[in-house]
Structure 1
Amino acid sequence: MRNPIAKKITRVRPSGIRKFFDIASEMDDVISLGVGEPDFDTPWRIREEGIFSLERGRTFYTSNAGLQELRDEICRYLDRKIHVSYDPKKETMVTVGGSEAIDVALRCMLDPGDEVMIPQPCYVSYVPCTIMADGVPVIVELKNENEFKLTVEDMEKKVTDRTKILVMPFPNNPTGSIMTREDLEPVAEFVKKHDLYVISDEIYSELSYKGEHVSIASLPGMRERTIVINGFSKGFAMTGWRLGYCCGPEEILSQMIKLHQFAIMCAPTNSQYAAVEGLRSCEDDVEEMRRAYNQRRRYLMHEFERMGLKCFEPYGAFYVFPSIREFGMSSDEFATRLLKEERVAVVPGSAFGECGEGFLRISYAYSLEDLKAALGRLEHFIQRLRKEQERD
C-alpha cells in the first residue's frame, strides 16, 4: 500500500515534556512541578459570564475573526498595556489559544524554503509549526551567561538571504527570561536592516516581575513588521477555555483570518463572551495572581542559593531554569532519577532544544506548600548526588 503519512509530519518529534507526565501518572505520591498551567481557578466573574452566556443560548458561531465586542476590548487592552493601537475590525483575530495563532501566522507567511530564526530554549511548538508550514527552522542559541536573552551578535551568525521571520518568545518559556526596552532596541534595528518580520509570542506578558512588559511592536518602525500573539491561558488562568488572539498589519491578518475560516471557523463562543468580562473587570485578579507567582519565584531563588544550585534570576512567566551541569549527567537522566527516587516531576531542559541540555524547567505555578515539599525532596536528591561524586 502507498504510505499514507506525509514526510514532513514524520520529521516532527513528539513533545519531550509528555514522557515524564506519562511516567508520573502511574506513580504514587508524586509532586509535579512540570506543568505550565496556573494553579488558580479562572476568576469567578469570567466563569460567571461564561455560564450566563450559555444560559442565554449564546451557542452560535461568531464571525470568523471573533466576536466584535471581544476584538474591541482586546485592542483597548493592548493600547493600555503595550501602547500599540490596532484596528479591531481589520487587524485583530481571536484564535483557539495562542498556539493556533502561531501555526496560522507561519502558514500564511512562509513559502517553501523560507527560514525562521527561532531562539532556543523555547516553547516546543515553533519548530514543528515551521516545518509543517514548509519553512526551515534556524536555531539561535540563547546563553545562560546572557540570562537567555536574544542578542544581535547571535542573530548575525544565523541570518541569510532566505531568512524571513524572527520568533520573539519573551517572557520566555522555559527560562523565564525577559527582554527590556534596552534589550529590544538593537534587535529591532537588526530586523529592519535585514527586512524581516517578527512573530512576538507574548502569552506571558501579564507575568513580568521587573517593570512593565515591553512589546517589540511598540518600538519605532516595528508595528508594521510584527504579529503580536497573546491569549488568556496564563495571565487570566483560562487554559481550558482555549482562547488566544493576534494583532498585526491588515495585509497579513486578512490572510490569517482566511486560513482560520477554513480550518477552525471561529473560537468557542462562550469563551469569547467570558473573555470580554475578563478584560473589562479582572485586571485586579490578574495582578493578585502575579504577586503570588512573584512570591513563589523569590522563594525558589532563595532556596536554590541556599542549597548551592546555580540559577540565573528570571523575571517573567512562572518558570525557573536551574543548571544541573555540576552533576555530570544529562537533563533527561537527572529528571528521570529525580522522579523515580524522590517522586518529583520536572522537565529536562533538553525538551526545549539542544541548548537546554544541562538545565531543568521547574514551574512555580503551584502552591507554596507543594513547592516547599518538592524542594525538600530535591535538596535530599542533590545532597546524595554530591556525596556520590565525593566517593568517586
Structure 2
Amino acid sequence: MDFKSILTGWYKQNRRDLPWRSTSNPYYIWVSEVILQQTRVAQGLAYYQRFTNTFPTIYDLANAHEDTVLKVWQGLGYYTRARNLHNAAKLIVNQHNGKIPPEYSELIKIKGIGDYSAGAIASFAFKKAVPAIDGNVYRIIARIFGVFSLPTSAQGKKDFHQIVMDLMDKEAPDTFNQALLDFGALQCVPKSPKCGDCPFQDYCYAYRNNMIDSLPVKGKKLIPRDRYFTYLLIQFGYNTFISKRKSKDIWHSLYEFPLIETEKALSPNLLHKHKALKEWVGTKGYTIIYISDMVKHLLSHQTLHTRFVIIRIDSISKKLSQECTMVPTSEVSHYSTPKLIDNFLAAEPAAKYFLSPQDFH
C-alpha cells in the first residue's frame, strides 16, 4: 500500500479551504492550531479572525493585558489555552526577538507549546518533516494499521510517532500532515466513519475485522464530578461586584460574581439561612429580587449545578469590599466571564431584573 499517495490523492479532492492554509506566517498558524485543539473548525473560524484582527502580530499579543486576551478568547472555553498562548508569545518576544523558532526541538522547549503544536508549526510554516499528531491522526493510524497501543501512554505516543514518521512524505510534510488532519475530520470520523467510499477500505485493519468502534484503544473514562454553585448578582445603586478567579481551578483568571459553593444543591429556603449569604450582603438590609431555577452546565470532567440570585443591598459588607471589585452594572460585559455567566446575562431574567436601570429611591 502506498499510503502517502492514496492519502494525498484523497486530499486533493477533499481538502478544506481554511484561511491559515494560505499563509506561511508561523504566528497565524500557531494561533489557528491552538484554537482548533478543543474547538470545531466551523466555530473556530470566527474566533481566529477576531483574534488575529485584534492581535495581528506576536508583538501585539505579547504586549496585551491578560484581561484583554481572555475577553477576545471569551466563548471558546478551555481558557488555559489562551493564557499559555499569551505567555509563550511574551517569551518568544523577550528571548527570541519575536521570531518563532523553526525547529521542533526548539519549539517544544517553549512552555505552552506542546507536541502537537510544535509539530504543526514546524511542518506547516517551515516545511520540517515532523509529525503533527492529534486525535484525528491517532484514530486513522490505529484503525488502518491495527495499532492497539493506548495513545495517551508514553509507549503509545512513541509507537504512533514512529509509524507516522515512517509514512511521512519527507518532501511535502506540510501537505501530508494537513491531509491526515482533514482525513480524520471529514472521512475517518469518530462515529459512523465513511467506510463505504474510503480509499483505504481494502487495507484498513479495523474495517476488515469489524473493529471500527474499538480503535483507537481508549483509557478509563473519568466520571464527571458534580459541583453546586450559587452566584450572587448584587446590586448597590447602579453598581455590582465581581472578582477574578485565582485558585488552581476552572476558569482561572476569569471574572465572576460572589459565589457560594456547597456540597449539595442550595434550595431557596436554605439560601435565606445560609451563613455565607449574610457575609456577602451584610446585615443592614437587603432584598432578594430574583432566584433562578437550577442551571446545569457541563464541563469536560465536571457538571455544575448553578443558581443565580439577584440581590439589592443598602450598604457594602466587609466581605464585598475586601474580596470584590465594584463596577458599574452596565460594564460587566467588558470583563471576561465564563460562558455559564454569559448565558445567564443574555437571558431575560438578567435583562429584566439586573441589567436594566432600576428605581433605587
Pair in the same fold by TM > 0.5: no
| TM-score grouping bracket, smaller chain normalisation | under 0.3
Q: Which has the higher contact order (CA 8 A, sep 6+)?
A: 1
Q: TM-score, normalised by structure 2?
A: 0.23
> Normalising by structure 1, what TM-score?
0.22
Larger Rg computed on CA atoms? 2
